[in-house]
Amino acid sequence: MKIYQYKVLTHESISKIEIDFVPNVFFLFISPSFSNPEKFVKSLKKKYPEATIIGCSTAGEIMGDQVLDDTIVLTAVQFEKTKIKSINVDLISNALDSYKTGASISAQLKGDDLRHIFVLSDGLIVNGAELVKGLQSTVEKDVSITGGLAGDGTNFENTFVVHDGEINSNKIVALGLYGKDLKIGFGSKGGWDSFGIERLVTNSKDNVLYELDGKPALELYKSFLGDKAKDLPGSGLLFPLSMRNEDNQTPVVRTILAIDEEKQSLTFAGNIPEGAYVRLMKANIDRIIDGAEQSAMVSKEAGHDSHQLAFLISCVGRRLVMKQLVEEEVEAVNEVFENKIFTTGFYSYGEIAPFDKFSPCSLHNQTMTITTLAE
């Protein structure tokens, strides 16, 4: 595997990209404030017509030890033994479609030697939990799945994905990786603290929560937030919910995408099923950084200690909490890998990965999810 990275600041940077190998895939993580990213993507496709290009918009770009804004972080890879196949599919705004879309993706990528699916999705209209279920529905259990939901800073207005020379919203792009020579590691850890009493989900539908303990969900949630309630849904990133049910023996974290004052409901990136128990969570910066370090240790172990490229997908909520300390979690990850690995990634609206090699794939919020690749 050969790897090249470049921090794109302007469209003119295309002339400065000189790669001494023939890449077969580019990964692009693009700031929503980068001016006319379509122009750069089309220029890149013209310069490297045979290469696959995938990527998405972000709430911050990651390259090495840096957390960036207003850039495109470009990573070019030549897989020397691993075959790849990319697809993109449309997404319609309902939970059932998210499941069907995931199932369609995995069915199209399915193959005897499929090892891994890396998926990037529109971050606003998708039901990430249903997407993951769909992705798992038509592939063997030994096929690992990781990825994330595109971001839009803290605006929650428009996200997009990249496939070859095109940028589009309301789509999902996925890359299938094939062959026995590919080594994969992954891990996902958080570091947030739960507080308060557990509450029972008494009325919900898919990823929309209507009632907790028989009370309007939004009213109850606002009572916890105090003055920060006026800044919803953005302030909800600082106070996610920890959820456990029969499907999640290990609690997963859910953050808010939208609120509905009329219905007094909260919409999340993943499902909040009736009968589940939830608790409010708050940030602990030291534990958040420790969570990133633990994620790196888990992925390092799962990758058999041979690592060349790592994708770091961390939640926008973590960035909002850590503020100027945000690079510390990225530095903690690189220290685990002894700064001997190429790292890229982005701050997201949701992370897709197993907790570790013994867990099924899940949608997460407020985690640092790491995927390592090597040949």
| Residue 97 pLDDT | 87
| Residue 361 pLDDT | 85
Asked which of 70-79, 142-151, 184-193 is least confident by mean pLDDT, the reply is 184-193
| Residue 27 pLDDT | 98
Asked which of 33-42, 84-93, 178-187, 245-254 is least confident by mean pLDDT, the reply is 245-254
**Confidence check: pLDDT of 363 > 90:** no
3-state DSSP assignment of residue 40: helix
| Residue 180 pLDDT | 92
pLDDT band for position 362 (50/70/90)? confident
pLDDT band for position 305 (50/70/90)? low
Mean pLDDT is highest, among 101-115, 284-298, 344-358, for 101-115
What average pLDDT does range 208-234 have in this prediction? 91
Distance CA 115, CA 83 (A): 10
| Residue 101 pLDDT | 94
pLDDT band for position 193 (50/70/90)? confident
**Confidence check: pLDDT of 303 > 90:** no
| Residue 302 pLDDT | 67
* pTM attached to this predicted model: 0.87
Higher pLDDT, residue 195 or 108: 108
| Residue 96 pLDDT | 66
**Confidence check: pLDDT of 94 > 70:** no
| Residue 307 pLDDT | 84
Q: Which residues, in sequence order, are CB contacts of 262 under 8 Å at separation 6+? A: none
**Confidence check: pLDDT of 277 > 90:** yes
Q: What are the pLDDT digits (tens) for 153-167? A: 988 889 999 999 899
Distance CA 73, CA 9 (A): 9
What average pLDDT does range 7-30 have in this prediction? 95
Closest by Cα among 368, 136, 365 to 251: 365
CATH of 193-282, one of 2.40.30, 1.10.1070, 1.10.443, 2.60.40: 2.40.30
pLDDT band for position 249 (50/70/90)? low
Arithmetic mean of pLDDT over the chain: 91
| End-to-end Cα separation, the chain, in angstroms | 6
Residue 339 has phi, psi (to 5 degrees) of 55, 30
Determine which helix (DSSP H) or strand (DSSP E) holds 167, and give its type and residue range: strand 166-168
Asked which of 30-44, 198-212, 258-272 is least confident by mean pLDDT, the reply is 258-272
| Residue 190 pLDDT | 85
Residue 14 has phi, psi (to 5 degrees) of -55, -35
Percent of the chain with pLDDT over 90: 65
| Residue 225 pLDDT | 85
Pair of tokens at residue 37: 């990213």
Domain ranges of the chain: 2-189+287-374, 193-282
What average pLDDT does range 289-298 have in this prediction? 90
